[in-house]
């Protein structure tokens, strides 16, 4: 009986210490669920596509060739979109500044532009799906169709790469 009372008092003390309200911190709740995929206000990011953790080993190998980490949490669709964006960006870069692999800073900024703007993202996604349907493989997609999306990526490359 004495041990049971002692353990009950200890458990109450621990619960009080863990869940006591503090002055500068909001109160915690044990069962509150927050969305793990919620977009950050004002941030331009690529929305999640497909079912997470479905990326294939072949896609991971290709992403690793383009200096991406082996991230198993991506979906097949996200990996395809990222790979297509890299190939498209390098194709435009090869045509515009004669350098299929501009410096990493330029590549990262261009990928951010392509993946964060919805119309560019959707265009590159459809372009990549057409390439795969036609059986085209490889990292040299030239010649690329000249359209509004091409011109926007071209303008971004010229701004980032400088004269």
In order along its 163 residues, the chain shows pLDDT tens digits of 678 888 888 787 777 776 666 665 555 554 444 444 444 444 566 777 888 889 999 989 988 888 888 888 889 999 999 999 999 998 999 898 888 888 888 888 999 999 889 999 999 999 999 998 988 877 777 788 899 999 999 999 999 877 6
Q: What is the pTM of this model?
A: 0.69
State phi, psi for 22 to the nearest 5 degrees: -115, 160
Q: Which helix (H) or strand (E) holds 85?
A: helix 76-97
DSSP letter, residue 27: P
Rounded to 5°, the CA angle 141-92-126 comes to 60
Convert 87-120 to b/e letters by CB count within 10 Å (16 or more is b).
Answer: bbbbbbbbbbbeebebeeebbebbbebbbebeeb
Distances in Å between the Cα of 45 and the Cα atoms of 16, 68, 91 are 40, 17, 23
CB 123 within 8 A of CB 148: no
Domain boundaries, the chain: 57-161
Q: Read off the pLDDT of residues 149-163 as tens digits, 9 standing for 90 and up.
A: 999 999 999 998 776
């Amino acid at each position: 009986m004495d041990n049971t009372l002692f353990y009950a008092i200890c458990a109450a003390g621990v619960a009080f210490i863990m869940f006591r309200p503090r002055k500068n911190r909001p109160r915690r709740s044990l069962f509150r669920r927050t969305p793990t995929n919620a977009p950050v206000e004002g941030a331009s990011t690529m929305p999640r596509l497909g079912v997470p953790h479905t990326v294939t080993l072949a896609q991971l190998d290709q992403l690793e060739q383009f200096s991406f980490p082996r991230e198993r949490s991506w979906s097949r669709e996200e990996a395809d979109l990222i790979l297509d964006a890299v190939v498209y960006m390098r194709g435009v870069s090869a045509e515009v500044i004669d350098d299929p692999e501009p410096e990493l800073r330029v590549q990262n900024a261009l990928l951010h532009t392509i993946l964060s703007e919805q119309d560019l993202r959707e265009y590159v996604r459809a372009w990549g799906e057409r390439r795969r349907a036609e059986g085209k493989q490889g990292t040299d997609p030239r010649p690329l169709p000249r359209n509004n999306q091409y011109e926007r990526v071209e303008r971004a490359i010229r701004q980032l790469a400088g004269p």
